[in-house]
Amino acid sequence: MAIKVQVRANESLEAALRRFKRQCNFGGIFRLAKAYTWHEKRSDARRRERRERLRTILKATRKSQRRAGGRVR
């Protein structure tokens, strides 16, 4: 996955760098690079992925309850 940032007219290099970092963050580049810096056992990876799935499910449930006007416990 290659991320490209074109420096706009009258844009500072710092602003372009901020946009690049933001795109890397949203693209998951930093998370992938961090994950590949060490070896993770398969069982640990499964456990982590399961926690991430549960977190997203709970977050979606809370969001839908807030929309419905229900009380969040």
pLDDT number for residue 1: 62
Of 3-7, 51-55, 59-63, the least confident: 3-7
Cα–Cα separations (whole angstroms), residue 69 to 19, 22, 62 = 37, 33, 11
Q: What percent of the chain has pLDDT over 70?
A: 93
Q: How open is the CA angle 44-63-58, to the nearest 5 degrees? A: 25
**At 39, is the pLDDT very low, low, confident or very high (cuts 50, 70, 90)?**
very high
